[in-house]
Chain A
Amino acid sequence: MSSSRHLPSRRTLAGLAAGALALGLLTACGGGSPDEPGKELVYWSMWKQGEPQQVALQAAITRFTRATGIKVSVEWAGRDVVKQKLPAALTTSKVPDVVDQSDDTIRPFMVTPGVARGLAQVYEADVPGEAGKKVKDVIPAKYLQSPALRLPGGEPYMVPYSVAGIGLFYDAATLTEPPPTDWNAFLALLGRLKAAGTAPLTADGEQYWSDSYWMNYYLYRTIGADGLKAIAEDRTGQSWKKPEVLAAARQIEKFAKEGYLLKGYDAGKYPEQQKNWAQGRAAFMIMGSWLPSEVGSYAKAGFRPASMPFPEVGGPAEGEEVVQFGFAMPVKAKNVEAGERFIAYMTTKTFADELARTASVLSPREDAYVPEALAGVKKQLDGVPATYPFAAGLSVPGWTDKVYYPTVGELFNGKLTAQGFVDKITAVQAAFWKNQGD
């Protein structure tokens, strides 16, 4: 029984292995011809091939290369670019020169570990093709001054190419009256909707980060973003006992327990509720301005997304929470000058318009095209004195996932009363800080 013929012999296997190794070495060393320094750069992007942002970026990159002769090798790496790919690359010498992501990803993964480069130089550069304008002139102060863009020393580490505000989105084709501006009028509207049989609100119950927008904004308006930050940093947790917190919790409890939320909001999986909203089963959804583009492919016919700002709740309202997407450079970048030129090139109005049009996003530039669905958010952001990231840039590892989101989530899903929420989050926060040690 000579069935040993069927199994590859040791020699064959060795040959295969050697062949594979040779192939691998060949491809690893192949690389490409060495270009002169300053004439090339490596850009790793958070977008994947085929996404609208990628289309706009690719067109701009082609123009950039034609205009400056700098060759850009771009990897359309996907959302994990700054979380997984960059950290691994930073332990080697093959570091990209430019990356992009949202500021709330770049800060924990690049700024806190100290590997983000300061980009003050970029802000002082001229915007190509726009006489007399520097980059710092076209990025409004409200974005530039935000803690979202700042290194601990104060220098900016990112140049944004798109900003996302948070609004209460609704269908302008169905809700034709002008949106209410204060909380009581808003509640009255919700009541009318409820009576007429439309669910006033919806949210994906298990996506705690989206549920917490209601709490975030109520607190921003009543105690300010810095106030929320201060509460989070209180090691005793007692600051949660402020009356403003209880007031906010009461409103959310009302939503959860009095049927303001679409039935089943706490029994589905993302993106179920977005779909329901886009198909007209619920009126309002509080979300970032990426919502219209996310639901585009399954919204009902004639759906016209529009948004209103968070209603006045009678607090010292200042500023807006904004997520900024933009370019950053690692400290170890090799082609620094080329990278800075690239980033400056991307602040032109041409690119801003193209990106806004293709991807339906808001540009930080005041003069850029504004997609119709985001006109409400733009208005909301105009004339605002300051913007900030979530909780004014709070940077306490684990607090959001272990203290804030789960407890707010329980409140939002109807499992806690308002007072119960206050008591629970005080205790959870105290336990959290105790465990953190010093």
Chain B
Amino acid sequence: MRPTLRLTGLAPVRMAVWAVVAADVALLAWVLITSLKSTREVFDHPWRLPMPPTPDNYLTALEVGNFGRAAVNSAVVGVLSSLLAVAVAAPAAYALTRTTNRAGRPLTLLFALGTGVPTQVILLPIFLMLSSLELTSTLTGLTLAYVGTAMPFTVFLLTGFFRSLPGELEEAAALDGAGVWRTFLRIVVPVARPGLVTVFVLQLIVSWNETMLALVLMQDDEKETLPVALIGFAQQQQYTGTNWGGMFAGVCVVVLPMVVLFAWVGRRVTEGMTLGMGK
């Protein structure tokens, strides 16, 4: 419920906020519009509407730039890895918050510190591991790598989350003689759903945009993900000159699904994000 107090003199600040919001929207709109222009038009008239708008860039991106297949790869790997990450992290986070074992706190801290490990450092060992299992250039291998590297952030976020859940529900279940797993799956998870959805979406966003692991682990063109395909376009800048229109089309293919996803579930995500951070 909003308080009845009104903070006076806020009109200019409110306008400033709406200005920033408008700028964000304008940014997205500009990228979209520019993706419908030819490269020459992009440079000659960057701020005008395309005359006429041309879908050529998207065709180039889809066929030559391999964006169609890359999008499928990204979707499969993203959804699978995020689902698996939540499925593995949730029980772990729950256990870490409910255990009386003294190892509970330091282990949670370990997960938290794990978020600070930069990708370029663990890139080569992960590659070595996966290649010894013949899992490089496979969607499975990449999915595994994403699930593994998702552990620090997802578990950390979810521990905060589970810690804030009131214990009465579980008390009641324990009195009824329910085991730990049953309590978890039937009582805790449904209540924790907003947090789980949040973590799923956040992880999906991360894996959709992840570049380094995908570049090194996927040697085949067929197995490229979207960020790798996009880099392919951007790198043509060197020696052959960028296909700017194509690159903008590529950016849109990468960005728009995320924007749509966020517009759809954004509210749930942002609500869920804070539920875990209090207390």
Which A residues are closer than 8 A to B by beta carbons? 1-4, 6-10, 13, 16-17, 20-21, 23-25, 27-29, 44, 48-53, 75-80, 84-85, 88-89, 91-92, 94, 270-271, 275, 290, 293-298, 359
Given contact pairs A78-B232, A79-B238, A275-B43, A20 touches B221 in the complex (Cβ within 8 A)? no
**Within the assembled complex, what's the spacing in Å between the Cα atoms of A417 and B95?**
65
Kindly state whether residue B248 has any CB partner on chain A within 8 Å: no
Q: Which residues of A contact B232 (CB under 8 A)?
A: 48, 78
Question: B60, B80, B136, B189: which contacts A20 (Cβ < 8 A)?
Answer: B80
**Within the assembled complex, what's the spacing in Å between the Cα atoms of A401 and B188?**
55
Q: Is the Cβ of B236 less than 8 Å from the Cβ of A51?
A: yes
Given contact pairs A8-B83, A21-B140, A297-B40, A89 touches B219 in the complex (Cβ within 8 A)? yes
Q: Is the Cβ of B240 less than 8 Å from the Cβ of A52?
A: yes
Binds A, one of B22-30, B100-108, B127-135: B127-135
Kindly state whether residue B190 has any CB partner on chain A within 8 Å: yes
Q: Is the Cβ of A13 less than 8 Å from the Cβ of B138?
A: no
Q: Which residues of A contact B87 (CB under 8 A)?
A: 10, 13
Q: Which residues of B contact A75 (CB under 8 A)?
A: 219-221
Question: A21, A94, A271, A298: which contacts B219 (Cβ < 8 A)?
Answer: A94
Q: Which residues of A contact B131 (CB under 8 A)?
A: 88, 91-92, 94
Kindly state whether residue B202 has any CB partner on chain A within 8 Å: no
**Within the assembled complex, what's the spacing in Å between the Cα atoms of A7 and B220?**
34
Q: Is the Cβ of A7 less than 8 Å from the Cβ of B140?
A: no
Which B190-215 residues have C-beta < 8 A from chain A? 190, 193, 196, 215
Q: Which residues of A contact B80 (CB under 8 A)?
A: 16, 20
Q: Is the Cβ of B221 less than 8 Å from the Cβ of A76?
A: yes
Q: Shortest beta-carbon distance, B26 to chain A, in Å?
A: 20
Residue of B nearest to A2 (CB): B190
Q: Is the Cβ of B241 less than 8 Å from the Cβ of A297?
A: yes
Q: Is the Cβ of B143 less than 8 Å from the Cβ of A80?
A: no
Kindly state whether residue B141 has any CB partner on chain A within 8 Å: yes
Q: Is the Cβ of A7 less than 8 Å from the Cβ of B141?
A: no
Question: B42, B140, B193, B216: which contacts A28 (Cβ < 8 A)?
Answer: B140
Q: Which residues of A contact B217 (CB under 8 A)?
A: 88
Q: Is the Cβ of B216 less than 8 Å from the Cβ of A20?
A: no
Inter-chain residue pair count (beta carbon < 8 A) = 130
Q: Mark B99-129, 1 if CB is under 8 A from A, else 0.
A: 0000000000000000000000000100110
Kindly state whether residue B64 has any CB partner on chain A within 8 Å: yes
**Within the assembled complex, what's the spacing in Å between the Cα atoms of A305 and B132?**
51
**Within the assembled complex, what's the spacing in Å between the Cα atoms of A78 and B241?**
14
Given contact pairs A8-B83, A297-B243, A24 touches B141 in the complex (Cβ within 8 A)? yes
**Within the assembled complex, what's the spacing in Å between the Cα atoms of A129 and B134?**
41
**Within the assembled complex, what's the spacing in Å between the Cα atoms of A89 and B240?**
27
What are 16 pairs between A and B in contact, CB < 8 Å?
A4-B189, A4-B190, A7-B190, A13-B84, A23-B139, A24-B139, A28-B134, A28-B135, A48-B232, A53-B240, A76-B221, A92-B132, A275-B43, A290-B240, A297-B39, A298-B40
Q: Is the Cβ of B134 less than 8 Å from the Cβ of A29?
A: yes
Q: Mark B28-49, 1 if CB is under 8 A from A, else 0.
A: 0000000000011011100000
Question: B124, B219, B239, B243: which contacts A293 (Cβ < 8 A)?
Answer: B239
Beyond A7-B193, A44-B219: 11 further Cβ-contacts under 8 Å?
Answer: A24-B135, A24-B139, A49-B64, A51-B240, A53-B240, A75-B220, A77-B219, A78-B231, A84-B216, A294-B240, A297-B243
Q: Which residues of A contact B139 (CB under 8 A)?
A: 20, 23-24, 27
Kindly state whether residue B159 has any CB partner on chain A within 8 Å: no
Given contact pairs A20-B80, A78-B231, A4 touches B138 in the complex (Cβ within 8 A)? no
